[in-house]
């Protein structure tokens, strides 16, 4: 695993430098939907990451946000978000990151998330704990929802679909101390892992949004499930992450929105 971790770290570092060096500069922006955008920097970051990984592991699979990726017979698949928080990045809002996960036989075994502006590297390997810049991290000790700081986000089809998280958001702002919507699910999960947030929920995310972050939360002592408290799958469309202590309360609040 040391070799793979080193490659992931090197890829994230190089991609993060691209993001940092181009932050605040003029961007080429295309729209994948009415409000879902992609920039030339997303593509350059992804190209850099994929080239680094393929140079060392040419037989591995690739699942990435901005390209078709690569399929093979290898049990290893790299799951890449080259710029999580693209809307933030395009507007000059300083909350974005690079996210890289490694999956083996449908199980996430490695996750790295890098915030290049704060120079924060969140790293986890399955069974080995979670770390921020080589210092071990743990989830918060907050034990009731009313004292909790939570995070969430909204899907790109919120104007078209009734399943848009607004009901859950309204319920949680009346149940928690406060709720934040900062625009990067990967960083939100890291913040749960190191105790800046106590819990996070969101729907209609993609595997690259949650693969690395979900492992980092679990390795930091947290829990990740679906909205009902059941098993979490990075390929499903619901994620609920917390410090464990408030998890059941969060499940109960989510049930209100699903009834």
Same domain, 126 and 152: no
Residue 65 is predicted with a pLDDT of 81
First CA to last CA distance, the chain: 44
Residue 210 in contact with residue 192, Cβ under 8 Å?
no
Same domain, 81 and 188: no
Q: What is the mean pLDDT of the chain?
A: 93
Same domain, 13 and 124: yes
Task: Look at the block and give the residue holding tokens 């907050």.
Answer: 142
The residue among 27 and 121 whose pLDDT is bigger is 121
Residue 36 confidence class, pLDDT cut points 50, 70, 90: low
Same domain, 124 and 31: yes
Residue 134 is predicted with a pLDDT of 95
Same domain, 126 and 155: no
Residue 157, CA atoms < 13 Å, CB-side half-sphere: 7
Residue 24 is predicted with a pLDDT of 83
Q: How many CB atoms lie within 10 A of CB 126?
A: 16
| 156 burial via Cβ count (<10 Å: 0-12, 13-18, 19+) | middle
Q: Residue 114 pLDDT > 70, yes or no?
A: yes
Same domain, 71 and 125: yes
Q: Residues 3-27: pLDDT tens digits?
A: 999 999 999 999 999 999 999 876 7
- Looking at residue 203, which CATH number applies to its domain? 3.40.190.80
Same domain, 132 and 12: yes
Same domain, 130 and 8: yes
State the Cα–Cα distance between residues 189 and 245, nearest whole angstrom: 16
Q: Which of 86, 82, 47 is nearest to 65 (CA)?
A: 82
User: Residue 42 gets which letter from DSSP?
Assistant: H
- Looking at residue 29, which CATH number applies to its domain? 3.30.540.10
Residue 253 is predicted with a pLDDT of 97
Q: Residues 192-201: pLDDT tens digits?
A: 999 999 999 9
Residue 35 is predicted with a pLDDT of 47
Give the chain's domain count.
Answer: 2
The angle that helices 166-173 and 247-258 make with each other, rounded to 10 degrees, is: 130
Q: What angle do CA 203, 37, 166 make, to 5 degrees?
A: 30
Mean pLDDT lowest among 56-70, 91-105, 188-202: 56-70
Domain boundary among 136, 166, 193: 136
State the Cα–Cα distance between residues 63 and 70, nearest whole angstrom: 7
Residue 71 is predicted with a pLDDT of 86
Same domain, 70 and 114: yes
Residue 27 is predicted with a pLDDT of 75
Same domain, 130 and 157: no
Same domain, 176 and 108: no
- Please compute the mean of the pLDDT values over residues 43-71 and round it to a whole number: 92
Domain boundary among 105, 136, 167: 136
Of all residues in the chain, the percent with pLDDT exceeding 70 is 93
Same domain, 98 and 219: no
Which residues neighbour 51 within 8 Å (Cβ) at sequence distance 6 or greater?
none
Residue 259 is predicted with a pLDDT of 59
Q: Which domain holds residue 44?
A: 2-136
- Please compute the mean of the pLDDT values over residues 244-256 and round it to a whole number: 97
Q: Residues 151-184: pLDDT tens digits?
A: 999 976 667 777 889 999 999 999 999 999 999 9
Q: Residue 32 pLDDT > 60, yes or no?
A: no
Where would I find the beta strands (DSSP E) of the chain? Answer: 29-31, 37-39, 61-64, 76-84, 97-104, 107-115, 120-125, 130-132, 135-136, 149-151, 178-180, 199-203, 223-225, 238-242
Domain boundary among 76, 102, 136: 136
State the Cα–Cα distance between residues 22 and 15, nearest whole angstrom: 11
């Amino acid at each position: 695993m040391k070799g793979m971790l080193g490659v992931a770290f090197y890829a994230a570092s190089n991609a993060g430098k691209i993001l940092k060096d181009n932050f605040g500069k003029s961007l080429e922006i295309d729209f994948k939907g009415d409000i879902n955008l992609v920039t030339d920097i997303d593509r350059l970051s992804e190209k850099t990451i994929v080239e680094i990984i393929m140079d060392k592991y040419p037989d591995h699979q690739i699942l990435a946000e901005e390209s078709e990726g690569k399929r093979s017979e290898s049990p290893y698949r790299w799951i890449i978000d080259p710029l999580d928080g693209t809307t933030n990045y395009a507007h000059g809002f300083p909350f974005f990151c690079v996210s890289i996960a490694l999956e083996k036989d449908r199980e996430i075994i490695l996750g790295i998330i890098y915030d290049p502006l704060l120079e924060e590297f969140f790293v986890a390997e399955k069974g080995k704990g979670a770390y921020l810049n080589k210092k071990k991290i743990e989830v918060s000790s907050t034990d009731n929802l009313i004292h909790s700081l939570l995070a969430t986000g909204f899907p790109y089809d919120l104007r078209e679909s009734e399943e848009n998280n607004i009901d859950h958001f309204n319920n949680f702002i009346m149940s928690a101390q406060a709720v934040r919507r900062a625009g990067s699910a990967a960083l939100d999960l890291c913040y749960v892992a190191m105790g800046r947030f106590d819990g996070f929920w969101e729907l209609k995310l993609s595997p690259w949004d949650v693969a690395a972050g979900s492992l980092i939360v679990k390795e930091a002592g947290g829990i990740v499930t679906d909205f009902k408290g059941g098993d979490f799958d990075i390929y499903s469309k619901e994620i609920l992450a917390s410090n464990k202590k408030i998890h059941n309360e969060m499940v109960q609040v989510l049930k209100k929105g699903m009834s």
